[in-house]
Amino acid sequence: MSDSTRSVSEPTRTTKRNLLATLEIDTRLLGMIGAFIAVCLVFNFLTDGRFLTPRNIFNLTIQTVSVALMATGMVFVIVTRNIDLSVGSLLATCSAIMAMMQTVVVPNVMGFGLEHPLIAPLAVIVGLAAGAVIGAFQGWLIGYLTIPAFIVTLGGLFVWRNVAWHLTNGQTIGPLDNNFQLLGGINGTLGETGSWVFGVLAVAATLYALVAARRSKVRHDFQVKPVWAEVVIGAIATVAILGFVAILNAYDIPTRRLQRSFEDQGLVMPEGYTAGYGIPYSVLLLILVALVMMMVARRTRLGRYIFATGGNPEAAQLSGINTRALTIKVFMIMGILCALSAIVASARLTFHTNDIGTLDELRVIAAAVIGGTALAGGVGTIYGAILGALIMQSLQSGMAMVGVDAPYQNIVVGIVLVLAVYVDIVYRKRTGS
């Protein structure tokens, strides 16, 4: 059938490609990183260099974790043309459940006593299960009973916030178990050596992934980018990872705190001894979740179906994809991530409070949207959402450091959200994607 078309000469490949195209870097991502760096530099200038200190960068990362965790799940939710307004409230319910597990159920009802090693794992398992079940239930209401996601989760916003209140009789619950607190940020870090080991492993894994991807392309005779481009990307990744580790290691644990930990072990601290915090466990958790979610998005059928359904629900159905079951899965993932966020958020406070996670739904949606997730569905990236969360958190803590009052901070964040989406619209029009 193709006699006529066969004679058409192969279009000559444009040999002249610009630098970014050669490196195959997503220009959108680059723009976001640029915006993030700009925010950091401006605040660093305004605070006379206090913004870009190891201490503040450390705080920034642990403050970002909770919203960033949920934002990765919100990407899937929004990509499938849904929305979840209940994440902050669901976080509160999961937090309340885990707090009650730690302070009442496991120590008293099950009789293990306080500070038993089983408390934290049991609390976490029950909390995650609760998040999964509640999320799946909301997904069922949306997928099978076809109630709009906006309505189901708006209801959830009211319900789960107050279920949390009911579970705790409206009280602040704590202090939470010591092991549980390890996931809160500053109370649990890898230490300097551990962080370096992690950094080196991360670099090795990154380089391996680059090589493996190139090999796979070569095996199928696809075009590959020049070797120097691969080397540049590998070098940038290496510097970024090790630089991040170095910064977190440079934040020293206060001397008095070190002394106490030596005394706890019956030792005397040597003169002039210092130790850095290193990477917090909560940040490790975020990295792990981000990797898993990226794998799901790009390398699994589930992820493929999520994006296909967002792009064209009817086509997805006609291709034999069960879009209803898919909705349940997406909201279940969201619920589990809310529970993970609940662990980080309550462990960081060392208490469960009634207002934990209040307004988080808006921050999470904003992070995903600033990160390039389109509300029309079908488009969004996990790393974009995490970067979006980071940009928002930088803006807020930066303004707090400069001395901007909280209400004004919110005004700025609101404006930035709208502006970011407008810039995205302009960008998409220009690039025609």
Partner 1 sequence: MASEIDRTGTPLVELSDLCKAFGGINAVDHVSIDLYPGEVVGVLGHNGAGKSVLMKMLSGALSRDSGEIWVNGEKAEINSPRDARRYQIETIYQYLALADNLDAAQNLFLGREIVTPLGFVDDAKMEAETRKIMGRLTPNFRRYNTPVAGLSGGQRQSVAISRAVYFNAKILIMDEPTAALGVEETRMVAELIDELKKQGIGIFLIDHDIHQVKALCDRASVMKNGQLVGTVEVDKVTEDDLLGMIILGKKPEVAA
- State which residue, 44 or 322, has the beta carbon closest to partner 1: 322
Q: Residue 261 in contact with residue 43, Cβ under 8 Å?
A: no
Pick from 12, 15, 220, 266: which binds partner 1 (CB under 8 A)? 220
Pick from 301, 418, 419, 425: which binds partner 1 (CB under 8 A)? 301
Show contacts with partner 1 in window 198-217 (CB under 8 A).
216-217
Q: How many CA atoms lie within 13 A of 82 on its CB side?
A: 36
In angstroms, give the least distance from the CB of 103 to partner 1.
41
- State which residue, 18 or 223, has the beta carbon closest to partner 1: 223
Residues contacting partner 1: total by CB under 8 A: 37
Pick from 133, 209, 235, 295: which binds partner 1 (CB under 8 A)? 295
Return the closest-CA partner of residue 72 out of 364, 310, 300: 364
Pick from 378, 384, 388, 398: which binds partner 1 (CB under 8 A)? 378
Is there binding between residue 222 and partner 1 (CB under 8 A)?
A: yes
Is there binding between residue 431 and partner 1 (CB under 8 A)?
A: no
Residue 295 makes CB contacts below 8 A (sequence gap 6+) with 303
3-class SS shares of the chain: helix, strand, coil, % to 5: 70, 0, 25
In angstroms, give the least distance from the CB of 419 to partner 1.
24
In angstroms, give the least distance from the CB of 25 to partner 1.
15
∠ CA 361-363-367, nearest 5°, is 115
Pick from 38, 208, 300, 415: which binds partner 1 (CB under 8 A)? 300
Is there binding between residue 312 and partner 1 (CB under 8 A)?
A: yes
Pick from 308, 343, 347, 399: which binds partner 1 (CB under 8 A)? 308
Scanning the structure block, which residue is given the tokens 């699994």?
300
The piece of 55-63, 89-97, 117-125, 300-308 that touches partner 1 (CB under 8 A) is: 300-308
Is there binding between residue 314 and partner 1 (CB under 8 A)?
A: yes
Q: How many CA atoms lie within 13 A of 300 on its CB side?
A: 10
Distance CA 127, CA 125 (A): 5
Pick from 1, 19, 145, 268: which binds partner 1 (CB under 8 A)? 1
Pick from 304, 410, 421, 427: which binds partner 1 (CB under 8 A)? 304
Distance CA 396, CA 404 (A): 9
Q: Residue 209 in contact with residue 149, Cβ under 8 Å?
A: no
Q: Residue 247 in contact with residue 257, Cβ under 8 Å?
A: no
Output the furthest CA–CA distance in the chain (Å, rounded): 87
- State which residue, 33 or 224, has the beta carbon closest to partner 1: 224
Distance CA 283, CA 194 (A): 14
In angstroms, give the least distance from the CB of 135 to partner 1.
23
Show contacts with partner 1 in window 25-84 (CB under 8 A).
none
Show contacts with partner 1 in window 316-375 (CB under 8 A).
316-321
Three-state SS sequence of 287-310 = HHHHHHHHHHHHHCHHHHHHHHHH
Query: Crossing angle of helices 406-431/382-402, nearest 10°?
Result: 140
Q: Residue 121 in contact with residue 84, Cβ under 8 Å?
A: no
Q: Token digits for 413?
A: 């964040």
In angstroms, give the least distance from the CB of 27 to partner 1.
15
Residues that bind partner 1 (CB under 8 A): 1-2, 5-6, 8, 10-11, 216-217, 219-222, 295, 299-301, 304-305, 307-312, 314-321, 378-379, 432-433
